[in-house]
Structure 1
Amino acid sequence: MDRPKVGRKRSEESKTAILEASLELLRERGYGKVTADAIAERAGVGKQTMYRWWPSKADVVLEALTETARTSILERDLGDLESDLRAFLTATFRALNGPRALGPVMRGLMAEAQLDAEFAVRFGEYIAWRRAVLSSLVQRAVERGEVAKGTSIETLVDMLFGAMWYRLLLDRPIGPKLAASLAKLATRAVR
């Protein structure tokens, strides 16, 4: 039998303040220099409030990243695979490398996932969600007849995200030109 949760209910205002504070601090200081204490102080909440809702700093950051992706990296149907890929990758790269760059944050979370097996599972769920969005975009192209029979959607998604992760991990530039190039190459490869 499930036990009822005790304690105060999670305040949406506090949640938003914590997530916004974490992103602000991450952009200012980088993942390694941000602490739970700093996030709590910036958000105007107690550190215990954060730990009541999230098991670690990495989990706070992951939720902030998830919310950002939900609102800024939308899956759009522009009618053809190359356009859909270019739009998705451009939005993804803008979030990672733009004026509010989250690329260094992703590198920090990837490093954290290598050190914390429990967090690695949650980070893997985030990655799987993003892969599913890209896979559905490619599946639409399959249904439109733009993709050759027998093409592995999973391998195509690996190639696209692989290029992104390679550049992120080596701190190489990603942006609209790379998005357009990857979209064109991927479309040619699957025809």
Structure 2
Amino acid sequence: MTEPHAPRRGRKRSEQSRLAILTATFELTRDEGYRALTVEGIAARAGVGKQTVYRWWPTKADVLLEALATKAELHVSVADRGSFRADLEQFLRDSFALLGVPGVAQALRSLMAEAQVDSQFASRFREGFLDRRRAALAELLQRARRRGDAPPVADELVADVVFGVIWYRVLATNRPWGEADLVALRDLLTSTFTNPDPSSRIGSTHV
């Protein structure tokens, strides 16, 4: 699994310790909030030394970043289901389900807020989470283009639509995701784009 950034220094990471630290970080953020999160608390919860955490991550935000990136890669499928429509539906369904897990949306809001005040972390957040989620969706789109059933718009625009909707909902509203949201977004990116109604195009006129 690609990590959001290389370990800072020192010996190779123990996978058992890494997972314990990531789990502890997410649970503490969920239970106590990001402001209360400390490296000392993470280390104590994970049963490791504080220097172990600092050896592998520069800040508490970076630990939380990797925890969320790992969750997303584990829980959001990019498997081939035979069509872009089916692939996209499962990608959205998994993404919405993950966002519904207690603590996930809260943690994402905290990371986005951190990125607004720390430009160095903002770069790591883009590379370690935002770009990786777009790359996962790009895998579906590239496969669809080989199959011939991709929407006739740039992949970047599809990603902007999908993640723009997701981030707007995470950052600006408290509305939960529902099946109607999933169906509407899936249909927007499959039915509407692949079978456009000429009369609905911008600039069209009606007699």
Same fold (TM over 0.5): yes
User: Does residue 1:110 correspond to 2:112, yes or no?
Assistant: yes
Partners of 1:76 and 1:162 in 2: how far apart?
A: 23
Contact 1:93/1:176 (CA < 8 Å) preserved in 2? no
Identity of aligned residues (%): 46
1:153 corresponds to 2:155 = yes
Alignment of 1:126-141 (within 5 A): 126-141=129-144
Task: From 56, 71, 91, give the equivalent of 2:74.
Answer: 71
SS at 2:150 equivalent: coil
Aligned CA distance change for structure 1 residues 6 and 52 (closer, same or farther; 3 Å): closer
* 1:26-175 matched pairs, under 5 angstroms: 26-98=29-101, 100-125=102-127, 126-147=129-150, 149=152, 151-170=153-172, 171-175=174-178
Partner residue, 2:191:
188
CA contact (8 A) 2:80 2:87 kept: yes
Unaligned segments of structure 2, at least 5 residues = 1-7, 195-207
Letter in 2 for 1:65: L
Distance 1:175 1:148, change over 3 A: closer
Find runs of 4+ consecutive structure 1 residues off by over 6 angstroms: none
- For 2:166 and 2:115, how far apart are their aligned partners in 1? 18
Conservation of the 8 A alpha-carbon contact between 1:141 and 1:147: yes
SS where residue 79 of structure 1 aligns? coil
Superposed CA offset, 1:78-131 (max 9, x none): 122222111001111111113x44111111111111111111111101211110
Give the TM-score normalised by structure 2.
0.81
Q: CA RMSD in A?
A: 2.0
After superposition, the C-alpha distances for 1:35-94 in whole angstroms (9 at most, x for unaligned) are 222111111222222111100001111111122122111202112222211100111111
- Offset from partner CA, 1:132-167 (integer Å, 9 cap, x none): 110221222223222354x11111110111000000
How many aligned residue pairs are there? 185
The higher radius of gyration belongs to: 2
Question: Equivalents in 2 of 1:11, 1:146: separation in Å?
Answer: 43
**1:9 Cα shift?**
4.5
1:168 Cα deviation after fit: 0.2
